Amino acid sequence: MHLNGHEKLAIILSALASFPATASLAQVPAAKEASAQQPVKTTARTPVNSNAPLVTMTPQQHKALVSSVASLREAVKLTQTRKWPQAYAAYTKLIKANPGLGMAYGDRAVSLIAMRRYNEAVNDCNKAISLGKDGSEVYNRRAVAYMQMKKYDLALADYTKVINLQPASAAAYRDRAVCYLRKGDKKNAQRDIAMAKKALGGKLADTKQNQKQSFLAVKDASIVDVSSMSTQKFDDIIKKDPEHKPMYMLQRATVNMFQAKPQKTLEDVDQVLKYSDDQLKKGGSPARSAILKLRITALQKLGRFPEALADCNTVLAAVPGDEQARLVKAMAEFELGKYKEAIDDAAKIKSNPKLVNAAKILASKAKQKLAPSKKGSLSK
């Protein structure tokens, strides 16, 4: 049977470990990587915007947060090295401090299955799903546990959910075939084996649905998974604190972006941009150029490249040295067939090594697009 490896985490470990004593969700960028921050004293108050509502951590809370990050680091490392009892202990410690962190339950299930504690693994998968971590990996883990418990109908139901989420997965069809065989259903097993062969041959179309990935941030002195956070919470907060509505709308927009809902992100951002600069400042929002960058990301995801390009130009007019906006501008130009412009903008990115590398790749692709036309002109 197939059991997927440890779920990839997009987490800012170094940033979380040294984060100030005052933090809100908006203050921790939920991204794949972040530069390490210098440690700060737990008594510091360093808000992003002086008008934004603050969540003040006590020294004890800050210590607990740093401990949670350490537990997560350890759990990931121990899972990768297959030290299952120790990994289970590390995840248990993390869950105790952050009981609402669904990905921790889903990942702890891996160690429980390895230790043959199948009923507990099912319970952890159920908890993960109830907390919004309902991706194919969690259903696959629960199916494996059900198989070992000889609860084949339940395992079949979960493997079917995995296939619905990943219809081109040969492993999912193969595992469901094994389940059918154990149940004595040779006909369906043979059908799934045939489907697995088609998947291996690239004959099955996959969905464009991305595998759910965890994006972790700090909220109320705890680690939260932005990718499974309910946006309803923001609606409730806005009703209680309408003064800071723009900031909460931007937080909701960010959550929707991480949950692959760019249209909803765009709707919120567009509403926020209707506020005046004074209203944005009073509402705890960042600078308008920062808000536009979130809008640009949504527009890119939606394939609305002319609008993304226009917004990039607006951001760069305000902040000429913004290399992230410069790279996105080059990407939009590439998509619009403006290859020379894309090359020129990519060449202006020189500071951030990761952005420089991405710019070089983009420039190389743009030059390849231009190459045929150059050959044609020479032949003439």
SS3 state of residue 315: helix
- In whole angstroms, what is the distance from residue 5 CA to residue 144 CA? 13
61 or 351, higher pLDDT: 351
pLDDT at position 14 over 50: no
pLDDT band at 356 (very low <50, low <70, confident <90, very high): very high
**pTM recorded for the entire structure:** 0.66
- In whole angstroms, what is the distance from residue 148 CA to residue 336 CA? 53
Domain membership flag for residue 337? no
- In whole angstroms, what is the distance from residue 288 CA to residue 248 CA? 15
Domain membership flag for residue 37? yes
pLDDT at position 38 over 60: no
- In whole angstroms, what is the distance from residue 353 CA to residue 311 CA? 24
The neighbouring-strand residues paired with 218 are 223
Report in angstroms the alpha-carbon separations of 379 from 37, 57, 366, 369, 375: 56, 70, 21, 17, 6
Report in angstroms the alpha-carbon separations of 250 from 188, 229, 270, 293: 48, 14, 10, 12
Helix/strand/coil percent split, the chain, to 5: 65, 5, 30
Are 24 and 196 contacting, i.e. CB atoms less than 8 angstroms apart?
no
Q: What pLDDT shows up at residue 234?
A: 84
Domain membership flag for residue 108? yes
Phi, psi of 24 (to 5 degrees): -130, 170
Which of 86-95, 230-239, 241-250 reaches the highest mean pLDDT?
Answer: 86-95
pLDDT tens figures, 188-232: 999 999 999 999 888 887 765 545 567 777 776 778 787 777 788
b or e along 72-97 (b: 16 or more beta carbons within 10 Å of the residue's beta carbon)? bebbbebbeeebbebbbbbbebbbeb
Domain membership flag for residue 217? no
Domain membership flag for residue 310? no
Percent of the chain beyond pLDDT 90? 55
Domain membership flag for residue 325? no
Report in angstroms the alpha-carbon separations of 243 from 53, 218, 231, 239: 10, 22, 18, 9
pLDDT at position 171 over 70: yes
Residue 145: give its domain's CATH number: 1.25.40.10
Are 55 and 65 contacting, i.e. CB atoms less than 8 angstroms apart?
no
Domain membership flag for residue 289? no
Q: What pLDDT shows up at residue 211?
A: 56
**263 Cα distance to chain centroid:** 17
SS3 state of residue 291: helix
**32 Cα distance to chain centroid:** 8
Domain membership flag for residue 174? yes
Q: Which domain holds residue 140?
A: 9-200
pLDDT tens figures, 112-142: 999 999 999 999 999 999 998 888 999 999 9
pLDDT tens figures, 289-346: 999 999 999 999 999 999 999 999 999 999 999 999 999 999 999 999 999 999 999 9
Phi, psi of 372 (to 5 degrees): -60, -40
If one counts the domains in the chain, the total is 1
Q: Which residue is listed with tokens 């088609």? A: 198
Report in angstroms the alpha-carbon separations of 302 from 274, 306, 317, 331: 21, 11, 24, 14
